[in-house]
Amino acid sequence: MKKSDPQEFFPYHGGKLFCEEVDLSEILRKHGSPTYVYSHEGFRSPVERLKTGLSGLPVQICFAMKSNSNPELLKILKQCGIGIDLVSGGEMRIARSVGFSGNQMVFSGVGKLPEEIESALKNDVFSFHVESIPELDLIQEILEARFPPDRRARVALRFNPDVNPKTHPYISTGLRENKFGLEKSEILWVAKNLKNWPRIQIAGLSIHIGSQLVTLAPMKEAFQKLKSCVETFESLSKIELEYVDLGGGLGIRYKNEKPPTIEDYCKLIQKEWSAWIQGRRAATRVFLEPGRLISGNAGVLLTQVQFRKERKSRTFLIVDAAMNDLARPSLYGSYHEIIPLNSALRKGKTASTDIVGPACETADRFASGRKVPVSWKRGEFLALLSCGAYGYSMASNYNSRPRPAEVLVKNKEFFLIRDREKIEPL
Ligand SMILES: *Cc1c(COP(=O)(O)O)cnc(C)c1O
């Protein structure tokens, strides 16, 4: 399989679908269906490729854990030596429990709560990525009210560069009309009024323009706007920034997109930032916040066909996974490749088919009018590919359905890393 392919870590062997060296049907026999399965190497490999591509540049990679927050998977990333991009106090507690230290974390988000800010300060989170001026005021107030006078907080201002990432409107974040970040005029106003926040040390500027970007052009444009913003900020404020954060957002292949490779992405970063960094007086680092790029193609969702329902105009395959287990198709109309565990079922006569879940919503649909073999019927097992990012982390209990189990595969072994949820706590 090609690098960065949905099946890179999920090959067929002897007619059966595997994850690394484990037959997926073995996992289903032991843990039931539906179940998320992740490849250990699937998580590790993109991180190693990023590290290689960025070698020589002073970089800090922070995994956007909202894409997948399973503690056992976070441990793999901890072993790779990277940090965490948080968006809530809950994520901070999970990351702490896995052994990440506060200074390996940056805290993003437009609506941080007072108790989340206080707890992040107590945990010595490296930096707050601030998205509004009232948020700066709130951090200042909390420091004054609850912390010793010499305690200051490091902050990076999130700059909204007004760039169109050309992705789905629900996952574009760097346009002026989006709720995220500060406009350049606001950032420059902060630069001129730093005395308002004596307990805050502005250490960087950050951007994150959207998710599932399949071209580098919007990133390049945003990088250039960021550089110019850094320059103006520093000349107005007379302070030297410690870092720039380039956000996440690089897309992966779900279907036939041709996203830039990790290597192309690293080349762009090297080209835009290496000389810039060397030309600066102060030591400066580059932060990245990839989520999907690391987790997306490392996981699949396994499901079993319950019923085949033939209509004159349409065929429905009703599977045992639903929109509560995997929300992306209902939420964004997103595409997931769906393949059978038994490779013999890949061939033969096809019919235009809707693959749907049992939830009481027409939106509970994983594929619409997809050409799939007519041999797919009750009892067969299927894998929805590219479910490692925004899969389990977006799962809910809609229809009072317990969330699925999660299993990690490493070489020949597999481990249950989260029990199937029980109905009693619900
Ligand atoms: C969601 C998010 C990311 C990660 O986005 P991906 O598309 O998964 O790489 C990075 N930074 C911030 C601030 C985010 O909100």
d(CA 75, CA 95): 9
Both tokens assigned to 318: 């009703």
Distance of CA 248 from the midpoint of ligand 1 (Å) = 5
Alpha-carbon span 113 to 96, nearest angstrom: 18
Paired strand residues for 408: 38, 415
How far is 364 from 380, CA to CA, in rounded Å? 20
- The per-residue pLDDT for 310 is 93
| Per-residue model confidence (pLDDT) at position 1 | 67
Give the CATH number for residue 397. 2.40.37.10
Residues 88 and 225 in one domain: yes
Question: For ligand 1, is residue 91 a contact (CB within 6 Å)?
Answer: no
Given the residues 19, 266, 360, 387, select the one marked as catalytic: 360
| Model pLDDT for residues 82-109, shown as the tens digit of each residue | 999 999 999 999 999 999 999 999 999 9
Task: Report residue 112 as tokens.
Answer: 């941080």
Distance CA 45, CA 49 (A): 6
Tell me if residue 360 is catalytic. yes
Residue 334 sits in the same domain as residue 268: no
228: domain CATH number is 3.20.20.10
Task: Supply φ then ψ for residue 58, to 5 degrees.
Answer: -75, 95
Is 4 inside a domain boundary? no
290 with 302, same domain?
A: no
Query: 117 and 245, same structural domain?
Result: yes
Query: Among 242, 259, 294, where does a domain finish?
Result: 294
Say yes or no: CB of residue 112 within 6 Å of ligand 1.
no
Residues in the chain: 426
CA distances from 311 to 301, 315, 354, 366, 372 (A): 27, 6, 11, 18, 15
pLDDT in tens, 214-249: 999 999 999 999 999 999 999 999 999 999 999 999
Ligand 1, atom nearest to 206 Cα: 13
Maximum C-alpha span of the chain: 74
Considering the domain architecture, whether residues 139 and 175 belong to the same structural domain is answered as: yes
Task: Give the chain's residues under pLDDT 70.
Answer: 1
Cα distance between residue 291 and residue 61, in whole Å: 10
For position 240, what pLDDT does the model report? 96
303 lines ligand 1 (CB under 6 A): no
Residue ending a domain, among 264, 294, 324, is 294
Q: For ligand 1, is residue 292 a contact (CB within 6 Å)?
A: yes
Does the global pTM surpass 0.85? yes
pLDDT per residue as tens digits for the range 147-174: 999 999 999 999 999 998 877 877 777 7
Cα–Cα nearest to 238, from 191, 189, 198, 187: 191
- Taking the C-alpha atoms of residue 123 and residue 102, their distance in angstroms, rounded to an integer, is 5
Distance 91 CA to ligand 1 centre (A): 14
Q: Are 337 and 297 in contact (CB under 8 A)?
A: no
Residue 424 lies in a domain: no
Distance CA(337)–CA(385), nearest Å, equals 5
Regarding whether 322 and 272 lie in a shared domain, the answer is: no
Q: How many domains does the chain have?
A: 2
Using most ligand atoms within 8 A of CB, pick from 168, 211, 246, 332 the residue to mutate for ligand 1. Answer: 211
| Residue whose C-alpha is closest to residue 62's, from 75, 41, 40, 47 | 47
- Containing structural domain, residue 270: 41-294
